[in-house]
Amino acid sequence: MRNYFYRLLSTYLRLYARPSDRVIEVDAVSGELQEILGSTESVSSAQLRDAGGGSTADYVILNGNLHYEADIQGYLAGIRTSLREDTRLLVVTYSALWRPFIQLATMLGLRRKTLESNWLADADIANFLRLTDFELVRRDSRVLLPMYIPLLSSVVNRYLAPLPGLRALALVNVYVARPARVERTTSRPSVSVVVAARNEAGNIDNIVRRVKNMGPDDELIFIEGGSSDDTWDRIVQAQKDNPHRNIVIGKQDGKGKGDAVRKGFAMASKDILMILDADLTVPPEDLPKFYDALVSGKAEFINGSRLVYPMEKEAMRFLNMLGNKFFAAAFSFVLGQRFKDTLCGTKVLTRENYQRLARNRSYFGEFDPFGDFDLIFGASRMGLKVIEVPITYRERTYGETNISRWRHGALLLVMLVFASRKLKFI
């Protein structure tokens, strides 16, 4: 039973902590998890604080520790001081609903005898994290059947445990937290704004005029691909007409917005990466809001939301809005973080986090033609803190949409199923 359970738990933790990451388990109650995870180091909380060992860790695991601590706030505060800002804390707790079964398993010798003194609710965990300058990024509930029964265990734990309703009965809760930024930086990093443009000739000059500098040395990157109008010529002319602006241009090698965005990000040289849709339905004047949300430390992945403010009359058709709401709810369930509008084209993250995401892109593959989900899936798996910035969605004033409602809707359903297999039903 114990071996099966710890193998399950290691599978969930490996969703975040990859073999290439430095992983530390603090005050390990037993050695099973470390043995199965393989590359995990085990240290005491005192060693973590005194030696500053957490400063080089990508992930720090607390497996059940909070059940035993007399001073949880002091314990977490001590760990917090030794972690760098991009380290992730993985906190594993066990549901109080399972307390009688855990005690019975202990009596029967199916688990090591321990004295759990704290049985914590979600609100308790969130409160302790806030008190000790951690920020909760996401929470997963796992394991309905902690013992191995051929076929049945796999079906129950992989497909039933994550479902609404049933997940409230799960044994294991996994919380992903990040150290909250206590002091705001006074530096103003520069931005690479990437614009994928196909058949958008009439919008190029407006983009150059309306995208304002946010950092000291921003760059505007146009990537053109497969236009049937003179979009490329207008981009070249805009670069010539604006020598005072740092405008970088290129043609994409493949097809689709996702391919164009990836090429633009590969060409980018600044600290922050932004996507702006060339149709200007997201106003360029709103980009500083995204910039401020990232620079202030409120989050590490900034997603636009078109579904908060009233939108212009012809900005989004009714069926498109229903589809957006459905996919937002479905992907929020799969990803474990709330997304009100997964399909808003404006997304922002640091170049460093994007490079980490890109190095592990093979986990999901590169079949996303939109580019949105490549970033969303990767950010979710990395445990990046997500926040959405509401924008006022505008009508398109030039050209026609490059989105096919039914064909791309069907593709989104395929991607939803794929993401479920990779992130939720594992």
Give tens-digit pLDDT for 208-219. 999 999 999 999
Displacement of CA 360 from its chain's centroid (Å): 13
**pLDDT of 350:** 97
Q: Could you tell me the residue ranges of all domains in the chain?
A: 2-179, 191-424
More confident residue, 307 or 329: 329
Q: Which CATH code for domain 2-179?
A: 3.40.50.150
Let me know: does 222 contact 272? Beta carbons within 8 Å. Answer: no
Short-list 234, 367, 395, 244, CA closest to 311: 395
Q: List, for residues 145-157, the tens digit of each pLDDT value.
A: 998 999 999 999 9
More confident residue, 54 or 409: 409
Distances 60 to 21, 31, 121, 244 between C-alpha atoms, Å: 11, 15, 21, 47
Both tokens of residue 120? Answer: 């914590």
Both tokens of residue 59? Answer: 């992930």
Percent of the residues in the chain that have a pLDDT greater than 90, as a whole number: 45
Q: Is the pLDDT of residue 247 over 70?
A: yes
Q: Which CATH code for domain 191-424?
A: 3.90.550.10
Distance CA 292, CA 289 (A): 5
Q: Which residues contact 195 (CB under 8 A, 6 or more apart)?
A: 207, 220, 221, 222, 223, 264, 275, 276, 277, 278
Both tokens of residue 126? Answer: 């969130």
Q: Which of 166-175, 268-277, 372-381 has the lowest mean pLDDT?
A: 372-381
**pLDDT of 87:** 93
Q: List, for residues 103-122, the tens digit of each pLDDT value.
A: 777 777 666 666 657 788 88
3-state secondary structure of 409: helix
Confidence class of residue 358 from pLDDT cuts 50, 70 and 90?
very high
Distance CA 180, CA 196 (A): 33
Confidence class of residue 29 from pLDDT cuts 50, 70 and 90?
confident
pTM: 0.78
What average pLDDT does the structure give for the chain?
Answer: 86
